[in-house]
Amino acid sequence: MGGASTKLAACHVSPVFLRAQDTTEKAISFIKEAAKNNAKLVVFPESFIPAFPIWSALKAPTEKEHHFFFHNMVSESVYIDGEEINAIRAIAKKLNVIVSIGVSEKVRYSNATLFNSNILIGDDGEILVHHRKLMPTFYEKLTWAPGDGHGLQVVETRVGKIGVLICGENTNPLARYSLAAQGEQIHISTWPAIWPTRLTKVQDDSKVQDKSPVKEPPDRSNFLDNIFGSNYDNVAANRTRAAAHCFEAKCFGIMCAGHLSADVMEWLAELRTPEINSETLKLWPRGATMFLDTTGALLPGFTINRETSAKKKCDFLQEEEGILYAEIDLSDCVEGKQYHDIAGGYQRFDVFELKVDRRRREPASFTDE
């Protein structure tokens, strides 16, 4: 038996690079557009405000550019109670929509400690979940500190029970299970626009990698060369992880990746790393935004023309900036749990036990007279 459908919106967008206030204003414009099109949940990518620290993949930590960009990242990162988040909360309340947005968060007890955070804001403007990425991945450790378990929460909303994980922590089976064990129905996973792991043999990637998220997987006959001689195929890996969680938890998936704008592409090329130029940049696989159903399969999406309001079928967004929409029916979360409800009837609680510490970590505990 089917139930009422709900419209979701995933914003495949670029930040105004390292400009928090301008990026916040851009986010608000996209929230307004999605709300006008009757979306009830609006999702933005990883570290959307103010940017993803892509420079850490391209320049050595000791190079002056790296210090320059980190300084700017600290300056433009946002406080959880700052004006940027407050503006997002206000528009969510005004338009009666739920908003999930990735930010680089700074804290008042340090002038340089940052967290890769995701904020889930309710349609009443209240913060429902404040999640800090458990462990920054690879070169992200040059920018962000490890988070804690406080954000491993699933909250019940009018669109369903929502949980969020950021990028690589979707690889962590215990983190994913902790959300499934709370009855998660909608899983949000956020991703960067691009995530290079190698600066060499980029041109070879076009021969061995399939950059589309919906085509057949690439030929792995020359496995070692493909894996260790080319860039990490983040699109395929992202979809694999998100799909596995949807299948295991029997939940819907929103994969929301950032977009790489032309001006940022020009900036990357201007870093003048020998292996980087405008042509090789185009060959790196971009992140893709898409929806997944409760079996892990691709959920058909669509875009809506800003001028005519006409719908156009679109399974994913990758090269173009925009908003991808999908309709879901939460009753679809039921049938698969007849087969294996991993946090219920298909679990052996007498064999396995998971304990999750959700206390927010602070640098010190003070006692005053």
CB 144 within 8 A of CB 115: yes
Lowest mean pLDDT among 129-138, 184-193, 232-241, 286-295: 232-241
The CATH classification of domain 7-338, taken from the options 3.40.50.10140, 3.40.50.1950, 3.20.20.70, 3.60.110.10: 3.60.110.10
Give 35's DSSP letter: H
Active-site residue identified among 11, 26, 40, 46: 46
Residue of 167, 256, 314, 333 with catalytic role: 167
Q: CA-CA distance, 347 to 345, in Å (whole number)?
A: 6
Residue 75 CB coordination number (10 Å)? 11
Helix (H) or strand (E) holding 240: helix 234-249
Scored b (16 or more CB within 10 A) or e, 222-232 reads eeeebeeebbb
Q: Which two tokens stand for residue 84?
A: 């940027």
The pLDDT tens digits for 80-129 are 999 999 999 999 999 999 999 999 999 999 999 999 999 999 999 999 99
Cα Rg of the chain, angstroms: 20
Reported as a single tens digit per residue, the pLDDT across 186-237 is: 999 999 999 888 765 444 444 444 555 555 555 544 544 444 457 778 889 9
- Count of beta carbons in the 10 Å neighbourhood of residue 308: 7
What's the pLDDT at 274? 67
Question: Considering the chain, what is the average pLDDT of its residues?
Answer: 90
What ranges do the domains of the chain cover? 7-338
Predicted confidence at residue 268, as pLDDT, reads 78
263: confidence class by pLDDT, cuts 50, 70, 90: confident
Enter the DSSP assignment of 142. G
133 is catalytic: yes
Q: b or e along 125-142 (b: 16 or more beta carbons within 10 Å of the residue's beta carbon)? A: beebbbbbbbbbbebbee
59, 133, 211, 250: the catalytic one is 133
Share of the chain above pLDDT 70, in %: 88
Question: What residues contact residue 279 under an 8 Å CB cut-off, 6+ apart?
Answer: 203
Residue 167 and residue 192 in contact, taking contact as beta carbons nearer than 8 Å: yes
State the pLDDT at residue 59.
Answer: 86
pLDDT, position 271: 76
pLDDT score of 233: 81
Q: Write out the two tokens for 248.
A: 């295991």
Q: How many residues does the chain have?
A: 369
Q: 300-357: per-residue pLDDT in tens?
A: 999 999 999 999 999 999 999 999 999 999 999 999 999 999 999 999 999 999 999 9
Q: Is 355 a catalytic residue?
A: no
For residue 46, indicate whether it is catalytic: yes
